[in-house]
Amino acid sequence: MVSVYDLKPKFQQLLAPLLELLIKRKFTPNSITLLALSGSILVGAVIWLTRQQPSWLIIVPVWLFIRMALNAIDGMMARKYDLGTPLGCILNELGDVLSDLALYLPLGFVMMESLGIVVLFCIGAILTEFCGVLGYALGVKRHYEGPMGKSDRAFLVGALTLATVFWNGLKAYWQWIFLIAAIFTVWTCHNRIKAILKDTKEGQRTDATRVQ
């Protein structure tokens, strides 16, 4: 399933100079992860406090782009400089989920009629990430299939909030857009679970071959 996540390698190439600068400044992957989480909480708080002023929604797509860069950098930093730790893995997964909640839940208060649907969307977001990390529990890799993974959600919400800044009437359609997105999170969970099960079966076949 095509996902915005597929563009990640190209995006990482563009971030290489910034990565080198941050390393020289003694940043660590965990500090970058915590910076992304802190920024998401701050932006979410601003959106909740200014929920009656649609113009403030402009900060959502701006921050989502910055957060995407930070999320890419912490992983690049951990791999390239061998700075990965078990704590870093935990912080990365928890940080993604908490950041999503901090950014997306306040949007339900911008258009109260869509609050319930936004909550469903957030629950779906949590479940997609949970399904993704199930691979670790089964001894296979983490999975990132779409169509509504972390990057896809960021693109959707960023585009939606940006469009709403210029056309406030779009808020009337938020509940339908978030409902479709919530349904897509279920589809995403299905795709990730299916891929994980496929990996486990292939692993079993490999093990059986080695025994023979």
- pLDDT tens across 98-153, in order? 999 999 999 999 999 999 999 999 999 999 999 999 999 999 999 999 999 999 99
pTM, 2 dp: 0.91
Q: What is the CATH number of the domain that holds 197?
A: 1.20.120.1760
> How many C-beta atoms surround the C-beta of residue 62 within 10 A?
13
Count of the separate structural domains present in the chain: 1
pLDDT at 6 over 70: no
Tell me what percent of the residues of the chain surpass a pLDDT of 70.
92
Contacts for 8 with CB less than 8 Å, ≥ 6 apart = 72, 151
**Domain assignment of residue 149, given as a range:** 4-211
26, 123 in Cβ contact below 8 A?
no
The pLDDT confidence band at residue 210, using thresholds 50, 70 and 90, is very low
Query: Is the pLDDT at 15 greater than 70, yes or no?
Result: yes
pLDDT of residue 199 exceeding 50, the answer is yes
C-alpha–C-alpha distance, residues 61 and 107, integer Å:
13
